[in-house]
Amino acid sequence: MHAETYYPTVLRVGEVDREGERREIKKERLRKMEYSWVRALVLVICMFPLLVDARTRHYKFNVVMRNMTRLCSTKPIVTVNGEFPGPTLYAREGDNVLVKVVNHVKYNVTIHWHGVRQLRTGWYDGPAYVTQCPIQPGQNFVYNFTLTGQRGTLLWHAHILWLRVTVHGAIVILPKLRVPYPFPAPHKELVVILGEWWKSDTEAVINQAMQAGLPPNISDCHTINGHPGPLSTCASSSQDGYKLQVESGKTYMLRIINAALNEELFFKVAGHKLTVVEVDAIYTKPFTTDTILITPGQTTNVLLPADQGAGRYLVTASPFMDSPIAVDNMTATATLHYANTVSASAALTTTKPPPLNATPVASSFIDSLRSLNSKQYPAKVPLKVDHSLLFTVGVGVNPCPTCVNGSRVVADVNNVSFVMPPTAILQAHYYNISGVFTDDFPGNPPFTFNYTGSGPKNLQTMNGTRVYRLPYNATVQLILQDTGIIAPENHPIHLHGFNFFAVGRGLGNFNPKTSPNKFNLVDPIERNTIGVPSGGWTAIRFVADNPGVWFLHCHLEVHTTWGLKMAFLVDNGKGPNESLILPPKDLPAC
C-alpha cells in the first residue's frame, strides 16, 4: 500500500520548528551570553533560520540538582537545565547536532541519544563504560552527531546509574525542509513524556536493592509530562497536571515517549481515537486504536482528531504487566481541554485504563504495527542472513553471602551476566587495550533447555564482559527468547546504533524449523526497542553497517543493572566512509 501524501505548508512545518527552536534559543541565550562564540552562533541561527538545508544545532545541557515536589513530598533530583522532563531537542533530518553537557552534580553523567543511528560516530552514543567514560563532576563533553536518514520522535536520557529517571527529554526530528509528512499535516504537535516517580532518592532505592540482592522498591506513581495528574491522591484541584489544549475540528500530533525506568505503559485519551503514524522515528502504515502500548525507550507518534465539541477528557498512562511481578499500579492522568470550555466547571469525561494484565490489548497493538514501506520510505529487510543468533534473556540467582537470602537476583543474556568494565569498551577496542573485554560472547545458549518452562535446577549465571564481533555489513538475525527462570517476563530490548526489523514473534520456544515460516519479510515494523513477550520470543534482523561498539540491553533499568546486557563489536569496513571517526579530543577519561 502506498500512503497518500499530503503537503503541509512549508510555513506550518516552519512554525512548529521555529516555535520550539525560539524557546530553546531564548533560554540558551540567557544562560550563556557570557560565551561570545556562542553568542555569535546564536546570532547566525536567528538570522538564517530556515534558509539552509542542513544546519548545525547547538544546545547546552547543564546537569544540575533541583528540588522538586511531587505527591506532596519534596526531594532533590538531577535535571538538565533545571527542567523535568528535560528540554526538547529540535532538529531536522540531515542536521548536525552539538550538545555541550556540563556536569555540575556529584554523580558521574553520560547522555545517550536513544535511537540516533550515530553512523560512524559511536564515540557520542553515550552508554557509560561502553562507548565512553563518564563525564565526571565538574567536567564537560560536547556530543557531536548528524541525524542521517531519520525523522520523527526519539528521546535522550542519562545512561549511567538510575539518573535517567529524571534526566531525559524528547528529540524531535522534523523532515528535511519542504519534505512533507506522509500523512495529513497536523494543526499542532505536542510532546507527551511518560515517566515514573519515586518519593525516595532513586539512587538509594537501587543501592539498597543491590546490597540486599532483592528487587528494588517499586515507584510511587507514573507521570505525564512530569505530573501524576488531577486524579492523583495529592492533587490540589481537578486542574492539576498536564493540560493538552485543543480546538474543536483540528488534528493534533502527539509525540509520545515512555521515559519510565521499569514499566511498560498503556496510553489512552477518553472519547478520542488515536492514529499511529510513526514509531521510533520510522513511519508506519497508519492505524487507528483507542489504546497504545509503549515500552520504556519507545516513542510513538499519533494523530488525535479533536472531534468532540467541548469539555475536558481524561488522558491516562497505566502499567502493563502480565507476569507475577510487582509493579506500580498507579495511573497517571492528564486532561485534554477544548478551547471553548469554561475550565473549572466543565465535566470531565473519564475512561477506564486497560487491566494491568491486558495481554490481548498489548498483542493487538503490537500486531497492528507495520512499516510504511512506501517508495519513498522502503522497508529494506535483510533477506539473507550471515549471522543467525539466539539469545535467551531473563533472570537468574547467584550466591551472595552478604545478601538477605544469601543469594542475589541477577539477569543475563545467554547465561552471561554482563559486568561493566573499568574503562569504555570502545576505547579499549580502538586503542588495542587488552584485558578489558573478550570477543567470545556466545551466539547461542550454552545448552538447550525448555526456555519457557521453569528452567534448569541450577539458576546460576556466568559473569563476563564479552562482546559478539561482526564484520562490517554482516546481516544478522537475532532471536530474543524469554526464559521462565523464576518467572517469565516481558523484556523491552534496545539495540544501540541500528534500527532492526521485527520479523516475527511468538509464544513458547522459538522453533528454528517452523517459526520462520511465519516471518514477515515485506513490511515488518522497523524500530530500535522491542518487547520480547512474556514466555515467548521476538525475531529481529539488521545490517551491521555501523562500525563501533553497540550496546544491547533490556530497557527495564532494573534488568540492565542486574546484567541483562551485552554489546556487538562491528569492525571497520573499507576506507574512511566505512570506519569509525577519530576519537574526539575532549572524550572523558576513566
Ligand X SMILES: *[C@@H]1O[C@H](CO)[C@@H](O)[C@H](O)[C@H]1NC(C)=O
Give the phi and the psi of residue 212 in degrees, each rounded to 5. -80, -25
Q: Residue 98's binding partner, choosing from Cu ion, ligand X, none, with beta-carbon cut-off 5 to 8 A by kind?
A: ligand X
556 contacts Cu ion (rule: CB under 5 A): yes
Q: Residue 456's binding partner, choosing from ligand X, Cu ion, none, with beta-carbon cut-off 5 to 8 A by kind?
A: ligand X
Q: Residue 377's binding partner, choosing from ligand X, Cu ion, none, with beta-carbon cut-off 5 to 8 A by kind?
A: none
Which listed range, 43-51, 57-65, 375-383, 487-495, lies at the site for Cu ion (CB under 5 A)? 487-495
Q: Residue 136's binding partner, choosing from Cu ion, ligand X, none, with beta-carbon cut-off 5 to 8 A by kind?
A: ligand X
Residues that bind ligand X (CB under 6 A): 65-67, 76, 98, 108, 133-134, 136, 142, 144, 200, 204-205, 208, 217, 329, 397, 404-405, 415, 419, 431-432, 446-447, 450, 452-453, 456, 458, 460-463, 472-473, 573-578, 581, 590
Choose between 416 and 556: whose C-beta lies nearer to Cu ion: 556
Q: What share of the chain is helix, strand, coil (3-state, %, to 5)?
A: 15, 40, 50
What is the nearest approach in angstroms of Cu ion to the Cβ of residue 487?
Answer: 12
What is the nearest approach in angstroms of Cu ion to the Cβ of residue 101?
Answer: 27
What is the nearest approach in angstroms of ligand X to the Cβ of residue 227?
Answer: 19
How far apart (Å, rounded) are the C-alpha atoms in residues 266 and 358?
Answer: 10
Choose between 72 and 204: whose C-beta lies nearer to ligand X: 204
What is the nearest approach in angstroms of ligand X to the Cβ of residue 339?
Answer: 33
Residue 134: C-alpha distances to residues 36, 536, 588 (Å)? 28, 36, 6
Residue 354: asked if its preceding bond is cis (omega within 30°), the reply is no
Q: Residue 461's binding partner, choosing from ligand X, Cu ion, none, with beta-carbon cut-off 5 to 8 A by kind?
A: ligand X
Asked if residues 88 and 254 have their Cβ atoms less than 8 Å apart, the reply is no
Residue 75: C-alpha distances to residues 80, 201, 242, 246, 453 (Å)? 16, 7, 21, 33, 43
559 contacts Cu ion (rule: CB under 5 A): yes
Size of residue set near Cu ion by CB under 5 A? 4
SS3 377: coil
Residue 560: C-alpha distances to residues 204, 261, 319, 492, 553 (Å)? 17, 10, 19, 11, 6
Give which of 104, 65, 321, 84 is closest to 193, Cα–Cα: 84
Owner of C-alpha cell 541519544: 113
Choose between 47 and 447: whose C-beta lies nearer to ligand X: 447
Q: Which three cell numbers stand for residue 363?
A: 498483542
H/E run at residue 46: helix 36-47
Which listed range, 123-131, 153-161, 539-547, 554-562, lies at the site for Cu ion (CB under 5 A)? 554-562
Residues 6+ apart with CB under 8 A from 317: 194, 222, 223, 224, 265, 266, 267, 331, 332, 333
What is the nearest approach in angstroms of ligand X to the Cβ of residue 213?
Answer: 8
Provide the strand spans (E) within 71-139. Answer: 73-80, 89-92, 96-103, 111-114
Choose between 282 and 411: whose C-beta lies nearer to ligand X: 411
Task: Determine the number of helices (DSSP H) and then strands (DSSP E) in the chain.
Answer: 6, 33
Choose between 345 and 577: whose C-beta lies nearer to ligand X: 577
Rule CB under 5 A: choose which of 554, 567, 569, 580 binds Cu ion.
554
Q: How many CA atoms lie within 13 A of 121 on its CB side?
A: 20
Q: Cβ–Cβ contacts within 10 Å for residue 14, how many?
A: 17
Q: Residue 139's binding partner, choosing from Cu ion, ligand X, none, with beta-carbon cut-off 5 to 8 A by kind?
A: none
Choose between 93 and 263: whose C-beta lies nearer to Cu ion: 263
Choose between 182 and 394: whose C-beta lies nearer to Cu ion: 394
Q: According to the 3-state scheme, what is the secondary structure of 455-475?
A: CCCCCCCEEECEEEEECCCCE
Choose between 173 and 558: whose C-beta lies nearer to Cu ion: 558
Asked if residues 551 and 118 have their Cβ atoms less than 8 Å apart, the reply is no
Q: Residue 66's binding partner, choosing from ligand X, Cu ion, none, with beta-carbon cut-off 5 to 8 A by kind?
A: ligand X
Buried b (16+ CB within 10 A) or exposed e, 530-561: bbbbbbbbbbbbbbbbbbbbbbbbbbbbbbbb
Asked if residues 292 and 267 have their Cβ atoms less than 8 Å apart, the reply is yes
Asked if residues 349 and 312 have their Cβ atoms less than 8 Å apart, the reply is yes
What is the nearest approach in angstroms of ligand X to the Cβ of residue 450?
Answer: 4
Q: Residue 559's binding partner, choosing from Cu ion, ligand X, none, with beta-carbon cut-off 5 to 8 A by kind?
A: Cu ion
How far apart (Å, rounded) are the C-alpha atoms in residues 502 and 500?
Answer: 6
| Closest residue to Cu ion: CB criterion | 554
Choose between 219 and 335: whose C-beta lies nearer to ligand X: 219
Q: Residue 385's binding partner, choosing from Cu ion, ligand X, none, with beta-carbon cut-off 5 to 8 A by kind?
A: none
Give the end-to-end CA distance of the chain in Å, rounded to a whole number: 51
Choose between 499 and 561: whose C-beta lies nearer to Cu ion: 561
What is the nearest approach in angstroms of ligand X to the Cβ of residue 37?
Answer: 10
What is the nearest approach in angstroms of ligand X to the Cβ of residue 7?
Answer: 28
What is the nearest approach in angstroms of ligand X to the Cβ of residue 394?
Answer: 9
Choose between 275 and 392: whose C-beta lies nearer to ligand X: 392
Q: Residue 491's binding partner, choosing from ligand X, Cu ion, none, with beta-carbon cut-off 5 to 8 A by kind?
A: Cu ion
Question: Of residues 490-509, which lie at the interface with Cu ion (CB under 5 A)?
Answer: 491
Choose between 325 and 366: whose C-beta lies nearer to ligand X: 325
Question: Of residues 340-399, which lie at the interface with Cu ion (CB under 5 A)?
Answer: none
Q: Which residues bind Cu ion (CB under 5 A)?
A: 491, 554, 556, 559
